[in-house]
Amino acid sequence: MIAFATAIEPLRIANRVASRETYRWRLASADGQPVRASNGVLCAVDTSIEAERKALGGENRPSMVFACSGIRVEDFNDKVALAYLREAHQRGVSVGGLCTGAHLLARAGLLAGKRCAIHWENLPGFAEAFPRADVYADLFEIDGNIYTCAGGTASLDMMLALIRDDQGDDIVNRVCEQALTDRVRGPQDRQRLPLRARLGVQDAKVLRAIEVMEANLSDPLSLVEVATLVGLSRRQVERLFEREMGRSPARYYLEIRLDRARHLLLQSQLPIIEIAVACGFVSASHFSKCYRELYGRSPLQERANRHSEAVGAMAASAMAV
């Protein structure tokens, strides 16, 4: 809902501050019926995706189409919706994805060789599922007439960038004032809080060690190698981690590898052995043992729970602007 609302509201405000209707939009769902957001709010729509396909050849043809999606997007496989995105793109309509909408664009075959952005939580599974897409943990990416953003308030930043290109700095600054935001963040602004704020850690050496670990998840470094890159001895790194993180560096390294594995289990259909290898485990049995110790269930049980939760929960919506 936040990605959806912050995409539309800047357009409404732009119309208001410019005293003219520069932007119009309509909402479409797969079947023309209301769509319930993940927060439970039921969103009314104007039309169906099938009707939008027919509109591509008429006077109601949109200039841009955005697909908005959220959780469980990897389970979505509506052929009509994906065909609509392809056809819109082929007809020269700009196509975009809000939040996990990049997943739909990639499934439609539109992101091969294209720069794109997706929410950091979905990036591991997306990168494994669509290796030909050039995906980044940026707020938003605009590659030709393909628009993608990371979700959350990144939709606001992408739309502000669009409004600035259309109408200049004066209008976009007035939109920012109305929306109570102090600036338009750039595409490469970080999605997540800096490590210092996110972990509550102040020691620069510990933060550097964590950065090294996060950059080497599929092929883990030894603690000696981490310490060398940080400029400390192994024993110094161990002492700092015990003081700052409350656990050993080896334990912390294992936890962030298992966290990545959990994202892949929940967001991809990769075989468990491939997930184990992608997260630096030498065997599926070792991976399963470590996973169960941390999360209290096996990787297979994790995936089974995820599929049972997803039953009957699929819905899709598209926004045509």
Q: What is the pLDDT of residues 211-249, one digit of tens each?
A: 899 889 999 999 999 999 999 999 999 999 999 899 999
Q: Are 73 and 266 in contact (CB under 8 A)?
A: no
Give the per-residue pLDDT at 314. 37
Phi/psi for 6 (5° steps) reads: -80, -5
Q: Sorting pLDDT into bands at 50, 70 and 90, what band is 183?
A: confident
Instruction: With a cut of 50, say whether residue 24 has pLDDT above it.
Output: yes
Instruction: With a cut of 90, say whether residue 27 has pLDDT above it.
Output: yes
Q: What is the CATH number of domain 2-190?
A: 3.40.50.880
Rounded mean pLDDT of 112-133? 90
Fold of 195-309: Arc Repressor Mutant, subunit A (1.10.10)
Q: What is the pLDDT of residues 68-108, one digit of tens each?
A: 998 888 888 889 999 999 999 999 999 999 999 999 999 99
Among 134, 138, 55, smallest CA distance to 93 is for 55
Give the per-residue pLDDT at 231. 94
**How much is the CA Rg of the chain, to the nearest whole Å?**
22
Q: What is the mean pLDDT of the chain?
A: 88
Strands (E), the chain: 26-29, 35-36, 42-43, 47-48, 64-69, 94-99, 115-117, 134-136, 140-143, 146-149, 317-320
Residue written as tokens 């697909």? 67
Instruction: With a cut of 60, say whether residue 149 has pLDDT above it.
Output: yes
**DSSP 8-state class, residue 152:** T
Give the per-residue pLDDT at 313. 39
pTM of the prediction? 0.71
Q: Which two tokens stand for residue 68?
A: 């908005």
Residues of each domain in the chain carrying CATH 1.10.10.60: 195-309
Rounded mean pLDDT of 35-60? 92
Give the per-residue pLDDT at 269. 81
Q: Are 83 and 113 in contact (CB under 8 A)?
A: no
Annotate 282-315 with b (16+ C-beta within 10 A) or e (fewer). Answer: eebeebbebbeeebeeebeebbeebeeeeeeeeb
Residues of each domain in the chain carrying CATH 3.40.50.880: 2-190
Instruction: With a cut of 70, say whether residue 198 has pLDDT above it.
Output: no
Percent of the chain with pLDDT over 90: 68
